[in-house]
Every structure is written in C-alpha cells, then in structure tokens.
Structure 1
C-alpha cells in the first residue's frame, strides 16, 4: 500500500476490498526480497485480480490495460 492506494482498474480504495497481487509469481522469485518487493505488487479488486492471475488482462508500464485476445471484445 506504500506504492499504490487503489485498484488501478476499478479505482476501489477500501483496503477490505483489495488484494495484493504479485506481478512475478512467488514461485518464480529467486528469494524473499524479490517476493516482498513493493515494485512486484499491484493492489487489485478481487474480480480484477482473478482476470490478472488468469492472464486475461495485464498492465503496461504507464498503467494502461492490456486485454488478452482470448477475451471477447464485446
């Protein structure tokens, strides 16, 4: 929460409705420092976290959303 204060897609800012999601999965990190690095995290609402974890959305460095081609555009 020191790096972000809300879900970057929905704008939700209530901590009880946010999940700390990891950009690089814990299992792929080489050590504890990498796992706990705030730059490796995103605050997301649960529905957005699910889409992110399943690879259906992603984020560019500027924060814009990338939508997988597997998602129906409608």
Structure 2
C-alpha cells in the first residue's frame, strides 16, 4: 500500500511513514486472507484520519474519491483533520472502488443510525 500511494497519505500527502497507517476499507475481520493482503483494500492515511475512517465518521465516494464526513464532525473539525483536501489525491481504480464501496455503504448505514437516534 505504501508503494501504491507513493509513501504519502491518500488525502493530505503527508509522508512521514511512522505517522501513516494502512487502513482497510473492508475490515480485516470481514475479509478473506486474499482481501486482507490486497493493496486495493484500503488507503494509506495519516493516523488521525485512519481513526476517523475506521470509526465510519469519514468515508470516500468509491467512484470520485470525494471525502464524506459524518454530521458528528463539524466543518471546523473537518478542516483540522483534512485541511482543505476534499478528495483523495488519486481517483480510485475499479479494484479500489469495490472495497471503498463496501466502506461507503457501511458509512451511510451508520450515518442513518446516528440520525435516527438523534430524532428519537
């Protein structure tokens, strides 16, 4: 994954390798051995973005690479986390889009759950 993202965060371009995390789009526990090792199954992210991504507070549109944030993260915090970046540095490949799509669908489901809890 480091090679795929040229040793840089897929969002910010940060390149301090010790601060970057290979973050799975399809979770390790839900993936086959092949999927776990597939470099298309994830993003190289700065540590804070990895935590937000893993918590489904951020996702990526599988076709465009646009960043999407949960309503639980306000605009000011989005700017702190991602700066002025609004999409991945590279448009996802077809292989990446499959995995990103699975993450995106789970993100939307969790977003709907949070909204439902707020209304009740």
The 4+ residue runs of structure 1 with deviation greater than 3 A are none
Q: Which runs of 5+ in 2 are unaligned?
A: 77-120
Provide the TM-score with structure 2 as the length reference: 0.55
Provide the TM-score with structure 1 as the length reference: 0.85
RMSD: 1.4
**Cα deviations by residue, 1:13-37 (Å, 9 ceiling, x for unpaired):** 22122111100001101x2111110
Which structure has more strand as a fraction of its residues? 1
Equivalent pair of 1:59/1:65 in contact (CA under 8 Å): yes
Q: Which runs of 5+ in 1 are unaligned?
A: none
Which structure has more helix as a fraction of its residues? 2
**Number of residue pairs matched?**
73
Equivalent pair of 1:8/1:63 in contact (CA under 8 Å): no
